[in-house]
Copies of this chain bind each other. A is one copy, B any other.
Amino acid sequence: MLTRIDHIGIACSNLDATVEFYRATYGFEVFHTEVNEEQGVREAMLKINDTSDGGASYLQLLEPTREDSAVGKWLAKNGEGVHHIAFGTADVDGDAEAIRGKGVRVLYDEPRIGSMGSRITFLHPKDCHGVLTELVTSAEPSADHSSAEH
Protein backbone atom coordinates (compact mmCIF):
# COMPACT_ATOMS: atom_id res chain seq x y z
CA MET A 1 0.00 0.00 0.00
CA LEU A 2 1.33 3.42 -0.94
CA THR A 3 1.31 5.58 2.18
CA ARG A 4 3.17 8.80 1.35
CA ILE A 5 4.58 11.10 -1.27
CA ASP A 6 8.18 10.01 -0.81
CA HIS A 7 9.78 12.51 -3.17
CA ILE A 8 9.51 14.63 -6.28
CA GLY A 9 12.39 13.96 -8.68
CA ILE A 10 13.62 17.10 -10.46
CA ALA A 11 16.12 16.93 -13.33
CA CYS A 12 18.68 19.73 -13.47
CA SER A 13 21.72 20.63 -15.54
CA ASN A 14 23.88 21.75 -12.65
CA LEU A 15 23.28 20.14 -9.27
CA ASP A 16 25.30 22.63 -7.24
CA ALA A 17 23.49 25.63 -8.74
CA THR A 18 20.10 24.02 -8.21
CA VAL A 19 20.87 23.09 -4.60
CA GLU A 20 21.91 26.70 -4.04
CA PHE A 21 18.65 27.96 -5.60
CA TYR A 22 16.55 25.86 -3.20
CA ARG A 23 18.68 26.91 -0.21
CA ALA A 24 18.74 30.62 -1.00
CA THR A 25 15.09 30.87 -2.10
CA TYR A 26 13.33 28.63 0.43
CA GLY A 27 15.89 27.71 3.08
CA PHE A 28 15.83 24.01 2.14
CA GLU A 29 19.02 22.23 3.19
CA VAL A 30 20.73 19.17 1.73
CA PHE A 31 19.89 16.04 3.74
CA HIS A 32 21.89 13.56 1.68
CA THR A 33 23.95 13.39 -1.51
CA GLU A 34 25.10 10.44 -3.56
CA VAL A 35 26.09 9.24 -7.01
CA ASN A 36 24.09 6.33 -8.43
CA GLU A 37 26.19 4.97 -11.27
CA GLU A 38 23.55 2.47 -12.35
CA GLN A 39 20.97 5.24 -12.76
CA GLY A 40 23.62 7.62 -14.13
CA VAL A 41 22.80 10.43 -11.73
CA ARG A 42 24.39 12.62 -9.11
CA GLU A 43 21.71 13.63 -6.66
CA ALA A 44 20.84 15.67 -3.60
CA MET A 45 17.92 14.91 -1.30
CA LEU A 46 16.30 17.90 0.44
CA LYS A 47 14.00 16.83 3.26
CA ILE A 48 10.82 18.93 3.37
CA ASN A 49 8.62 17.28 6.02
CA ASP A 50 7.97 14.11 7.96
CA THR A 51 4.93 12.05 7.02
CA SER A 52 2.20 10.28 8.96
CA ASP A 53 3.46 6.79 8.00
CA GLY A 54 6.79 7.33 9.81
CA GLY A 55 8.62 8.37 6.64
CA ALA A 56 9.40 11.72 5.04
CA SER A 57 8.93 13.72 1.86
CA TYR A 58 11.93 15.00 -0.09
CA LEU A 59 12.86 16.89 -3.18
CA GLN A 60 15.33 14.79 -5.16
CA LEU A 61 17.53 16.93 -7.40
CA LEU A 62 19.09 14.89 -10.21
CA GLU A 63 22.01 15.80 -12.47
CA PRO A 64 22.93 13.22 -15.11
CA THR A 65 26.47 11.85 -14.92
CA ARG A 66 26.33 10.87 -18.60
CA GLU A 67 24.31 11.99 -21.58
CA ASP A 68 23.06 8.48 -22.39
CA SER A 69 21.49 7.94 -18.96
CA ALA A 70 17.70 8.04 -18.69
CA VAL A 71 17.81 11.41 -16.94
CA GLY A 72 20.42 12.72 -19.40
CA LYS A 73 18.22 11.88 -22.38
CA TRP A 74 15.15 13.28 -20.65
CA LEU A 75 16.96 16.54 -19.86
CA ALA A 76 18.19 16.91 -23.45
CA LYS A 77 14.62 16.55 -24.69
CA ASN A 78 12.66 18.45 -22.04
CA GLY A 79 15.02 20.82 -20.26
CA GLU A 80 15.04 21.21 -16.49
CA GLY A 81 11.87 20.30 -14.62
CA VAL A 82 9.93 17.61 -12.77
CA HIS A 83 11.16 14.22 -13.98
CA HIS A 84 9.13 11.82 -11.80
CA ILE A 85 7.11 11.45 -8.63
CA ALA A 86 7.61 8.73 -6.02
CA PHE A 87 5.25 7.09 -3.54
CA GLY A 88 6.50 5.37 -0.40
CA THR A 89 5.40 1.86 0.56
CA ALA A 90 6.48 -0.70 3.13
CA ASP A 91 6.48 -3.39 0.39
CA VAL A 92 7.71 -2.28 -3.01
CA ASP A 93 7.97 -5.90 -4.21
CA GLY A 94 4.39 -6.78 -3.38
CA ASP A 95 2.94 -3.49 -4.60
CA ALA A 96 4.87 -3.66 -7.88
CA GLU A 97 3.57 -7.17 -8.52
CA ALA A 98 -0.01 -6.18 -7.70
CA ILE A 99 0.22 -3.15 -10.00
CA ARG A 100 1.78 -5.24 -12.77
CA GLY A 101 -1.18 -7.57 -12.40
CA LYS A 102 -3.48 -4.65 -13.19
CA GLY A 103 -1.82 -4.18 -16.57
CA VAL A 104 0.51 -1.29 -15.72
CA ARG A 105 4.03 -1.82 -17.08
CA VAL A 106 6.65 -2.04 -14.30
CA LEU A 107 10.05 -1.10 -15.71
CA TYR A 108 12.24 -3.46 -13.65
CA ASP A 109 11.80 -7.21 -13.21
CA GLU A 110 12.96 -6.80 -9.60
CA PRO A 111 13.32 -3.59 -7.55
CA ARG A 112 16.76 -1.95 -7.68
CA ILE A 113 18.73 0.17 -5.22
CA GLY A 114 17.69 3.83 -5.04
CA SER A 115 18.54 6.80 -2.85
CA MET A 116 19.81 6.10 0.67
CA GLY A 117 19.76 2.34 0.19
CA SER A 118 16.06 2.19 -0.65
CA ARG A 119 14.50 -0.38 -2.98
CA ILE A 120 12.78 1.20 -5.97
CA THR A 121 10.96 0.48 -9.17
CA PHE A 122 9.29 2.61 -11.84
CA LEU A 123 5.97 2.45 -13.67
CA HIS A 124 5.74 3.31 -17.36
CA PRO A 125 4.53 6.92 -17.75
CA LYS A 126 2.35 5.99 -20.73
CA ASP A 127 0.38 3.69 -18.42
CA CYS A 128 0.14 6.43 -15.73
CA HIS A 129 -1.41 9.37 -17.61
CA GLY A 130 1.99 10.81 -18.52
CA VAL A 131 3.57 10.63 -15.07
CA LEU A 132 6.77 8.62 -14.59
CA THR A 133 5.96 7.05 -11.22
CA GLU A 134 8.41 5.49 -8.78
CA LEU A 135 7.64 3.19 -5.85
CA VAL A 136 10.06 3.29 -2.92
CA THR A 137 10.65 1.21 0.18
CA SER A 138 13.09 2.96 2.50
CA ALA A 139 16.14 1.11 3.81
CA GLU A 140 15.09 1.46 7.44
CA PRO A 141 11.77 0.10 8.66
CA SER A 142 10.82 3.42 10.22
CA ALA A 143 11.74 5.19 6.98
CA ASP A 144 13.03 7.94 9.25
CA HIS A 145 16.58 8.95 8.40
CA SER A 146 16.74 11.95 10.70
CA SER A 147 19.27 10.23 12.94
CA ALA A 148 21.36 9.07 9.98
CA GLU A 149 21.94 12.42 8.32
CA HIS A 150 25.15 12.64 6.37
Contact = CB atoms under 8 A, between A and B. Distances in A.
A93 interface: no
Interface residues of A, number: 37
Interface string A21-38: 100111110000000000
Contacts of A57: 4-5, 49, 51, 57
A5 B59 CA distance: 9
A8 interface: yes
A30 to B, nearest CB: 15
Interface of A: 1-5, 8, 10, 12, 18, 21, 24-28, 48-53, 57, 59, 79-82, 85, 87, 99, 102, 104, 125, 128-131
